[in-house]
């Protein structure tokens, strides 16, 4: 019996309805569904914590938007469980399967007629007085930003131990190709094809206008040292996890040893998604 995880944006009524229909459909095909706790409560099913789902499932179906999928990708970590992202809202970059294609996609999965696309992840670590105080893996980006009323901050930046610059800016972000269409794009970064072996270093509102985003090899190690005292500065991971930084903290970002595996569909076309999301060709 195949174990199938189901993690949904539980506060959406549509998600509850879809899961209520999906669970018996899976059981009828000799699959064992593991529904996340919050969604299960809303439909009267047995629920499981995410760590239990990740440990048991051969496939995880994510019903929601890109934010839900990002959190699941981090939870999966090195387990390598493939994700089938089903979009329940506006078109997403990651949750590429429209709801009407959910069951055809599952039938292809059961028949072994599917492809898996691997997306690079980054591991962000914080060192304080040479001691590691934080480590997280991200699919989109790691972002260093000043607080709402803080002044411009100074960030000494190194790539593979080579000094790049002291960025005087509102912050700095390092993004994967997957994350190139998220915060990095808003900050003026380039769009990278999602399977490209690279990462982007993007200054946020730099004081010097000649500071521009840099595309780096994926095997690079980026080190950023906070050189501004008494500043309200934080590290934000995938826009969902935050950590307060202190003077002389070192943020180290490198390619993670594992990737996120996304199940693709025959209808998928990355450029179609870009045209739809970014309104290319419209007047």
Sign of CA pseudo-dihedral 31, 114, 10, 239: positive
Is there a catalytic annotation at residue 232? no
* Catalytic residue (choose from 38, 52, 66, 101): 66
For Cα atoms 99, 16, 102, give the angle at the middle one, nearest 5 degrees.
20
Nearest to 263 by CA among 88, 118, 140, 139: 118
Q: Which residue has the tokens 């699941």?
A: 72
Residue 219 φ then ψ, to 5° = -85, 10
For Cα atoms 252, 124, 271, give the angle at the middle one, nearest 5 degrees.
115
**Catalytic center residues:** 66
């Amino acid at each position: 019996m195949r174990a199938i995880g189901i993690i949904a944006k539980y506060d959406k009524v549509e998600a509850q309805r879809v899961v209520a229909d999906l669970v018996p459909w899976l059981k009828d095909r000799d699959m064992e569904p593991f529904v996340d706790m919050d969604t299960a409560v809303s439909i009267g099913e047995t629920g499981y914590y995410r760590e239990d789902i990740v440990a048991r499932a051969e496939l995880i179906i994510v019903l929601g938007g890109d934010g839900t999928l990002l959190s699941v990708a981090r939870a999966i970590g090195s387990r390598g469980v493939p994700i089938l992202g089903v979009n329940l809202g506006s078109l997403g970059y990651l949750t590429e399967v429209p709801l009407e294609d959910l069951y055809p996609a599952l039938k292809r999965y059961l028949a072994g007629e599917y492809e898996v696309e691997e997306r690079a992840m980054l591991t962000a670590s914080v060192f304080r007085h040479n001691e590691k105080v934080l480590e997280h893996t991200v699919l989109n980006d790691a972002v260093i930003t000043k607080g709402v009323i803080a002044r411009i901050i100074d960030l000494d930046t190194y790539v593979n131990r080579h000094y790049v610059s002291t960025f005087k800016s509102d912050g700095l972000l390092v993004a994967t190709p997957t994350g190139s269409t998220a915060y990095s794009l808003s900050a003026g970064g380039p769009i990278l094809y999602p399977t490209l072996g690279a990462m982007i270093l993007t200054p946020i509102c730099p004081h010097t206008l000649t500071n521009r985003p840099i595309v780096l090899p994926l095997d690079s190690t980026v080190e950023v040292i906070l050189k501004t005292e008494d500043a309200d500065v934080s590290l934000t991971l995938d826009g969902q996890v935050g950590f307060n930084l202190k003077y002389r903290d070192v943020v180290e970002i490198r390619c993670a040893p594992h990737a996120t595996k996304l199940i693709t569909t025959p209808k998928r076309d990355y450029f179609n998604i870009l045209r739809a999301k970014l309104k290319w060709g419209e007047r």
